[in-house]
Amino acid sequence: MPSLKAIRKRISSVKSTQQITRAMQMVAAAKLRRAQDAATQARPYADKLSEQLATVAARIPDPSTNPLLAVREQEATVDLIVVTSDRGLCGGYNANLLRTCETFLAEKADANVRLTAVGGKGASYFRKRDIEMFEEHSGLAAGPDHPLAMQLGQRVSRDYAKGETDAVYVLYSKFQSALTQTPTVERLLPVTDTADDDQSEAEPESLVEYIYEPDPATLLSRLLAQYINTLIYRSFLEANASEQAARMTAMDSATSNASDMMDRLTLEMNRARQAAITTELMEIVSGAESLKG
């Protein structure tokens, strides 16, 4: 059995750890509220932009002439943007994302996948496994922001238009609730779902003529660029909310486990102290008896 001094030292250490985890839980909860509001507010904007994009595409005789709407027959080269956290202590958040990434890479084994790691944990994971990265963005203290989304959006759009890549995907954790975050792979390019699926819905309005400034084709190109940037930025917001939710849940579990551990250690300390007291009493009684004899 450990000594009383060792047990007390361990209880003090666990108590200090609990104070840290409780503080981190409170910080993550405060950040989660802001991140959740930002992610929720971005969804209607992205949906409305998608609707406007479909409306403009439906009024162009052949929208597929736009390079961002052209579908390649085969995905020989694929861009994958993986959004992970820059720090740990968020439970299985990064592990679930990277497991989904491994599944995606296995499915695209015949293609040349150009990985873009956003977040230090993803970059470290690929670096340790000698997986070549096309781009790396880590050390983001406040998380990935809008300028980075625009930078990535312009780069993937330019590469796709030049034919250097055949498809662009983004992997991020979609925020469902404080307890549920779902790793999601979303295709960014080519933009087919919005332009094609909603075109039939826009047909009843096709007789309505709008005055465009500039012309519809130019407007479509600008909307497509904005659409790609918005989708990437929305994935950043969803990932940030998911990260804070996962960290809050993990720190709450750690705080609870620390309380349970302190209870067990306190019980063990009391038993050790009682045993020590009993031993001392036995020694005193034995000494008194020996003096009588």
Q: Is residue 90 among the annotated active site residues?
A: yes
Distance CA 254, CA 20 (A): 10
Q: What is the pLDDT of residue 63?
A: 66
CA 40 to chain CA centroid, nearest Å: 15
Q: What is the pLDDT of residue 140?
A: 82
Distance CA 271, CA 268 (A): 5
Q: What is the pLDDT of residue 21?
A: 93
Degrees to nearest 5, angle at CA 180 with 27 and 138: 55
Mean pLDDT of 242-249: 94
Q: Which of 90, 115, 123, 167 is catalytic?
A: 90
- The fold of 22-250 is Pyruvate Kinase; Chain: A, domain 1 (3.40.1380)
Distance CA 257, CA 251 (A): 10
121, pLDDT greater than 50? yes
Distance CA 209, CA 269 (A): 83
Q: List, for residues 130-178, the tens digit of each pLDDT value.
A: 889 999 998 887 778 899 999 999 999 999 999 999 999 999 999 988 8
Confidence of residue 200 (pLDDT cuts 50, 70, 90): very low
CA 273 to chain CA centroid, nearest Å: 48
Question: In the chain, where are the structural domains located?
Answer: 22-250
Please choose, from the candidates 87, 94, 106, 90, the residue with its C-alpha nearest in 3D space to the C-alpha of residue 183: 94
pTM for the predicted model, two decimal places = 0.83
The torsion region of residue 245 among left (phi > 0), alpha (psi -120 to 50) and beta comes to alpha
